[in-house]
Amino acid sequence: MDGHVLALAGGVGGAKLVLGLSRILPPERLTVVVNTGDDEEFHGLHVSPDLDTVMYTLAGLANPETGWGLAGETFNALSMLGKYGAETWFNLGDNDLATHITRTRLLREGATLSEATEELCRKLGVMHRVVPMTDDRVRTTLSTDSGELAMQDYFVRWQSEPKVNAVNYVGADSASPSRGLLEALEYAEMVIFCPSNPFLSLGPILAVPGLRVLMKGFGGIRVGVSPIVGGAALRGPAGKMMAELGEAVSCTAVARQYEEMLDIFLIDHEDAAHAPMIEGIGIQAEVASIIMNDDDDKVGLARHILALANG
C-alpha cells in the first residue's frame, strides 16, 4: 500500500502506535485525528491533553516515563500558582505552560483549534499532520456515584476512583468534524483505530456527528488494535470503566464497540482464544504482539498493521 493513512488516537496509548507509524510513513501519508473531549481550561489557559501528548511524542519531546508531558520538566509556576490559592491538582509543567499560553493566544486571536495545532506542530518540527477531531467544543463528562465529573476531574483529581454509570460527550451533537479529518478521510486508504480508551478517547471522536456513518461507509481497510490484553487495560481506567458499564473486560468487548466500523482487529497472543468471538461480530481477528514497551515494538506493530493492506 502506498496510500494515505488516517489514525484515530487519544493520548498515551494512541501516541505509542502513532510514533511507530510516523517512523515508517512519510509526513504526507499520515494524518492523526486526536480526541479533544479531554480539553479543559486551567488558569485561564486552553489545555488539550491528548493533542499535546501526540504532538510532544512526534516532536521527540515527551516524557519517556509517563508518556505525557515534557521530558525534564519542572513545576515552579504551578507551585507559585498554589501560593495564589489556585488549584494545583492538574500537573502543568513550566515548559508545558508555554504550549498552553501559545494555544490560548492563537485561539483568542481567532484561530481555530486546527490552526492553533498546526502552528504549534510546525514550531516544534512535527511534520506529520495532527488534527483535532473537531474545532467545536466537545467535553467528555462521567456520571459517577460522586456526581457528574468532567474528564480531567475524574481521571486526575479523583484518580478514576468513582464508579462510572455513564459517559457523556457534551456538545458532540452540535459539533462538526474538523476539515483536516474530512479531507484525510477522502484520500485515506486505511483507517487505524489506535489502542486508545474506547470510552474516553475514541468514543468522543466517534460521537462527532457523521463519524460513525463515515467509518461504516469507508471504502478502504479499517484496522483496530485492542487496548485490553488478558482481561485488563495496560494502563488507565479502561478496564475498570468497562466493568462498571456492564461490559466484559476483554478485547472482544472492545471490538463490539467498533462493530461495523472495523475490518480487522489486532489482539494479543494471550487473547488468541477470543478470535472466534471477534469473528462472530463480523470483524477479522489478527493475533499479534500488541504490547509496545519500546520504540522497536511501536515500529513493529505499525509495520504489521500497514502490511495488512497488502494481504
* The residue type at 10: G
- Chain residue whose CB lies nearest ligand GDP: 13
Site for ligand GDP in 228-257 (CB under 6 A): 233-236, 238
Ramachandran angles phi, psi of 68, nearest 5°: -125, 165
Q: Among residues 4, 5, 14, 302, which is the contact residue for ligand GDP, using CB under 6 A?
A: 14
Site for ligand GDP in 151-210 (CB under 6 A): 195-197, 200-201
| 3-state DSSP assignment of residue 141 | strand
Q: Among residues 120, 225, 255, 283, which is the contact residue for ligand GDP, using CB under 6 A?
A: 225
Site for Ca ion in 25-64 (CB under 5 A): 38, 50
With respect to ligand GDP, which residue has the nearer C-beta, 11 or 177?
A: 11
Site for Ca ion in 1-20 (CB under 5 A): 10-11
Dihedral in degrees, nearest 10, Cα atoms 35, 36, 39, 44: 140
Q: Which range, of 135-143, 167-175, 219-227, 257-265, touches ligand GDP by CB under 6 A? A: 219-227
- Closest by CA position to 50, among listed 169, 158, 152, 126: 152
* First CA to last CA distance, the chain: 10
| Three cell numbers, residue 6 | 488516517
Q: Which range, of 21-29, 108-116, 223-231, 244-252, touches ligand GDP by CB under 6 A? A: 223-231
Q: Among residues 10, 37, 69, 204, which is the contact residue for ligand GDP, using CB under 6 A?
A: 10
CB of 255 to ligand GDP, least distance (A): 13
Site for ligand GDP in 41-70 (CB under 6 A): 50, 53
Query: Could you give the string, one character per residue 275-304, with x where binding to ligand GDP holds by CB under 6 A and - elsewhere?
Result: ---------------xxx------------
**Do the beta carbons of residue 204 and residue 134 sit within 8 Å?**
no
- Closest by CA position to 286, among listed 309, 294, 297: 309
CB of 49 to Ca ion, least distance (A): 5
Q: Does 286 bind Ca ion (CB under 5 A)?
A: no
Q: Does 133 bind ligand GDP (CB under 6 A)?
A: no
Nearest-5° Cα angle at 309, 307 to 311: 80
With respect to ligand GDP, which residue has the nearer C-beta, 79 or 159?
A: 159
Nearest-5° Cα angle at 106, 200 to 79: 70
**Do the beta carbons of residue 54 and residue 9 sit within 8 Å?**
yes
- Closest by CA position to 137, among listed 158, 112, 103, 160: 112
Q: Among residues 227, 242, 252, 261, which is the contact residue for ligand GDP, using CB under 6 A?
A: 227
Dihedral in degrees, nearest 10, Cα atoms 94, 96, 102, 103: -150
CB of 254 to ligand GDP, least distance (A): 9
- Chain residue whose CB lies nearest Ca ion: 11
Ramachandran angles phi, psi of 255, nearest 5°: -55, -40
Q: How far is CA 71 from the centre of its chain?
A: 20
Ramachandran angles phi, psi of 34, nearest 5°: -115, 140
Per CB under 6 A, residues contacting ligand GDP are 9-14, 16, 50, 53, 195-197, 200-201, 225-227, 233-236, 238, 290-292
Note the residues at the interface with Ca ion (CB under 5 A).
10-11, 38, 50
